[in-house]
Chain A
């Protein structure tokens, strides 16, 4: 234990003398939170609309007015030429084209049905699907509005008709009533942060000693592998928690992200999760010989981790096989728990399953990598 004490002192001295390490700890969380929290949203603030109104009737104008009224669509051009609309979309001046065909009003009055066409620029990915659902809703609402007026005009305005009740839909978003994207992103970003600190710094730190030759020096001293690994990982483990603390403070005071559950639960989970993160870093360090390689390998692993974690895209939208793979991803479970505790105020009982899986993975990865390290270095 005395040896360990000396080694730990050395590690902490080195960490605090290293300005880049400190910058990484303080700078990365701030920048990442600021960027990701603001940039990572699929919400469509406004889509640019070009209208091709071939009908030019009161009804078609009514539809265009409804589209504009919601604030979701910004009318940039109104034309009768489909070619001109197409050209606008090609030049990225239009995100949506609404085409109302000739005889729209007449068909509606006569047959109660009429077609319209919505063309979306699907080049911008996720935006298109969301925009379409906004537009469809507006059209559907307009249709039921029309139903009421048409009925009134045919029946001579006799008030509510049996079987013609209307639904008054009020939506409520639980846990995040203002639908603030930052609330959702921030817990995930904190996880990513802890992952980067735990995995990348571990790999870099050990490989750096390899590159400098000091690792070989330590290997011929009586320092055991257990002592060495403990001396390396304990400081980084604590650094991970420090980074998490900084991140949580920024989240709380700069972004006003709620903390509905127990802080203790968050840190408890993080402590367990860090075992997995550090373990992966240790594993990487056994596979590479330069810091550059360490960085690329870590980068690769962390990237796959993050993409498969539900940080950016919901896990439940993945195909089934990918969801199964995601189950083995510690990042996924940690993110789930963070979101559950911070946003939904979940307690130990609610997260028990995720925490159990996470712990199993963490212990597994950690012991595997320690064993691998001992084998490689021998």
Chain B
């Protein structure tokens, strides 16, 4: 693709100066081996980390049981819990004295505190109170753990039914549509593409443009016969190509290593990526136009593009979980729309018929930002 872009630039319609300029910019990128290596390595490492190491589910739950009057039912409950691989009973005590210490030392995640004469109460048919304590300093896993234990207790309760009369069971057959095994690679790869594209296009462009400003080489370009839009295009084209290459790399890695599906059209996905890259590039140019030093541009690009992309796009944290005032704000984050599109194409096999709304928003943003970027550049130079 990069060679094709170069070929198009060399076409007679555009001034050859622009071609030379694009080549110069490509040289900058290719010569800086270190940055290039990192730009290529970073997405790969991220794919591997997200795919292999990062999980949000809670496996291995360590349960501390407390029963002042241990009996056969305690054992039954314990066996019930341990019959699923999710639970591991790490201690059975008769008092709660040790709990605080176990939680502090983080050797138990959940404590199940039974009342005195647990079995008697149940046998009498009383409502028997059971205390479920979780370490909620991490509420994310805290809530999940609570749900798991509650579900297990509900099962245990059904088992208690008198012999001869079957328990009432509503068997839940659950299906995780579009990602049946909840593979974390499947979930994160679309977001990762957005993150990497933002990094390459917004951050790199902002820094390299403001660097030329700082070093005075931009002025040299400005007095050349090149028009402002040509300078912007020249600056931006190589990064577009780089972003495209990295998208392909991430997709390939995700495919080969984790067999992440691509249920929809590859062409559509790549086209949408290019659209998103244009949005990010324009943001990068805007940041560079508004700032006076490399470091200011860096800060601006971090706060203005990277942080929203990582946090407000739904990439890691679901937007539906955010507080009401924050949700509308996510609508101005381009990555939020791109991620819906990328997930739609990759996981659901959706086409333009379903994703036209999001695509339209992105296209609108691209147009708006492109105009704003060219303008701001203009104003600066005059």
Contact = CB atoms under 8 A, between A and B. Distances in A.
A179 interface: yes
26 contacts: A42-B321, A90-B350, A108-B170, A117-B172, A132-B176, A140-B150, A140-B170, A142-B170, A143-B169, A147-B161, A161-B162, A162-B124, A162-B162, A167-B130, A171-B133, A171-B150, A177-B136, A184-B137, A295-B207, A296-B38, A297-B34, A307-B46, A308-B49, A314-B56, A344-B103, A344-B137
B382 interface: no
A319 interface: yes
Contact of B138 (A63, A288, A297, A314): A314
Interface in B36-61: 38-39, 41-42, 45-46, 49-50, 52-60
A202 B22 CA distance: 34
A272 interface: no
Interface string B149-168: 01101111110111001111
Contact of B174 (A27, A32, A136): A136
A95 B320 contact: yes
A101 to B, nearest CB: 10
Contact of B54 (A24, A174, A313): A313
A13 interface: no
Contact of A20 (B132, B188, B296): B296
Nearest to A322: B53
Interface stretch (A120-128, A220-228, A239-247, A273-281): A120-128
Interface string B334-350: 00000010011001101
B182 interface: yes
B307 A31 contact: yes
A146 B168 contact: yes
B93 interface: no
A376 interface: no
Nearest to B41: A300
A230 interface: no
Nearest to A150: B168
A133 B151 contact: yes
Given A90-B354, A137-B150, A142-B170, 17 more contacts: A41-B140, A41-B322, A124-B320, A137-B147, A140-B154, A143-B169, A144-B158, A147-B167, A167-B153, A168-B130, A175-B135, A179-B142, A288-B34, A291-B298, A292-B208, A293-B32, A314-B140
A312 B315 CA distance: 12
**DSSP majority for the A interface?**
helix
Interface in B171-218: 171-180, 182, 184, 187-188, 199, 207-208, 211
B174 A132 contact: yes
Contacts of B294: 291-292
B166 A165 contact: no
A121 B177 contact: yes
A116 B138 CA distance: 32
A170 interface: yes
Contact of A316 (B54, B60, B160, B322): B60
Given A140-B155, A292-B211, A303-B42, A166 B320 contact: no
